[in-house]
Amino acid sequence: MIILSFDYGLSHIGVALGSTDTGLAEPLTVIKTSILNKDLGEITKLIKIHQPEKLIVGVSEKSSARQSLNFASGLKKTFSLPVEISDETLS
């Protein structure tokens, strides 16, 4: 299974591409975070190219957790793919 994972930040979103077949993930790109949802356009392009079966959003703690959860919620509303949350606290 191909998975796109996201590390959401206020200025950038880190994106990695992983595979459950190989058990490996590699950094793919960094997207500039946009208040005008231009970042969703970039994510749409990545989904078309790599055709993942799942999206994962890393969530740490405090205010950044809230922002990451909001980002994950936006992905769920925008794309017809399962979106999972991964706890990154202390990682």
pLDDT at 36 (0 to 100): 58
Q: What is the pLDDT along the chain (91 residues), one digit of tens a residue?
A: 999 999 998 889 999 999 999 999 999 999 988 765 677 889 999 999 999 999 999 998 877 889 999 999 999 999 999 999 998 876 6
Nearest to 16 by CA among 28, 32, 30, 1: 28
Q: How many CB atoms lie within 10 A of CB 69?
A: 14
- Indicate whether this model's pTM tops 0.85: yes
